[in-house]
Amino acid sequence: MIIKNANIYLDTGDFKTGGLIIEEDRIRQVGTTQKEETDCGAVPLKKEDDVIDASGLYAIPGLTDIHFHGCAGYDFCDGTKEAFDAITNYEAAHGVTTICPATMTLPEKTLANICRSIASYQNNQGSILSGIHMEGPFLSVKKKGAQNEAFLHKPDIELFRRLNKLCGNRFKIVSIAPEEDGAMDFISEICKTAVISLAHTTAGYDLAAEALKHGASHVTHLYNAMPSFHHRDPGIIGAAFDNPDCTVELICDGIHLHPSVIRATLKMFGEDRIIFVSDSMMATGLPDGTYSLGGQTVHVTGKKAVLGDGTIAGSVTNLMDCLKNAVINLGIPLETAVKASAVNPAKRIGIYDNYGSITPGKVANIVLLDQDLNVKMVLLKGKKLN
């Protein structure tokens, strides 16, 4: 397959017009000089639809969402093939071609069943399941957000290992409140296995800084479910900023964070440390109504999903729409938004060797967007989805 005349997002972090050659599921060549483009066009064709004229379109790498719970009427924690198929198909159709969905705070038995289902799951058509984000149960009751208090659990190394074994060692991220008993030992040990993310926490600056020294290196949905950034008490946000190896998540759905906060945080942390996530729940892609998250009732109106007490319960916006919102409504450069939605998350969970950029040798997960950032075509493993 050849894609010609596309405005390609390169692994240098900028756009340039050129062509692509795709063989089977891999990117063979990226041509952005006149000679390279001519070489792309000179490849022998097998059939008419081997050439895609992408004039006027952006070509970006497929996105990677490392924190979301569901979409299209299904929750990842449903733990069924039907749910996994629906979620992966929806995400792929919206240009999110690799995913690392999140669990909720649930009993070990329920989490174990989910893990068993994931270990045996095979999907040949939707987004590539690249790992799991364990968001619960090692969180603070005072900052539980939409997590179910009844099933919160002290950090437990053996519990994590049991679950990780059941899912075939698929956990890429573990969210944890560092103030909980046993958290530092957990962080020191499990950071050898998965990315440790600080989350749903009351921790101040000093405690968060200690957790980062012990091996934590990420923060789950920055600003949400944690103390605010105060000029005399910068808290976990300040500690994360002071640690140059720490990445942070931002939910750009237009509900969780004020636009000014997103713009300021990008300047504060720099574009290499920011990861856009959707934190989407099962109502994403569906009309207003009553849904559930982690066994709790969620009411959805417009772009807002809340529990009965008004607590925000995830989002109803997929990651591609978060990217679009950031660029069109918040004034974030497209190059920055693509880096935060495709490059940085792939690097964070260790899959960048194969995904996250349009680079020869990598899997051909490519999204073509029009000038208004609407998805016009998705290539998943080199094959057209739409």
In the prediction, which pLDDT does 386 show? 65
Average pLDDT over residues 348-353: 98
Would the pLDDT of 46 be above 90? no
- Is the CA virtual torsion 233, 102, 337, 359 positive or negative? positive
| Domain assignments of the chain as residue spans, ordered by start | 2-60+360-384, 63-348
Would the pLDDT of 39 be above 80? no
Q: State the catalytic residues.
A: 279
Q: What is the pLDDT of residues 267-289, one digit of tens each?
A: 999 999 999 999 999 999 999 99
Nearest 5°: phi and psi at 51? -115, 130
The three-state secondary structure class of 257 is: coil
In the prediction, which pLDDT does 100 show? 98
Q: What is the pLDDT of residues 358-378, one digit of tens each?
A: 999 999 999 999 999 999 999
Q: What is the pLDDT of residues 138-186, one digit of tens each?
A: 999 999 999 999 999 999 999 999 999 999 999 999 999 999 999 999 9
In this structure, are residues 233 and 208 in contact, taking their beta carbons and an 8 Å threshold?
Answer: no
CATH, domain range 63-348: 3.20.20.140
Q: What is the pLDDT of residues 11-37, one digit of tens each?
A: 999 999 999 999 999 999 998 876 666
Q: What is the assigned CATH class of domain 2-60+360-384? A: mainly beta
Burial letters 35-47, b for 16+ CB under 10 A, else e: eebeebeebeeee
Average pLDDT over residues 319-327: 98
In the prediction, which pLDDT does 45 show? 57
pTM of the model: 0.95
* pLDDT tier, 70 (very low <50, low <70, confident <90, very high otherwise): very high
Q: Which residues contact 267 (CB under 8 A, 6 or more apart)?
A: none
* pLDDT tier, 50 (very low <50, low <70, confident <90, very high otherwise): confident
Peptide bond into 137 cis (omega under 30): yes
In the prediction, which pLDDT does 47 show? 59
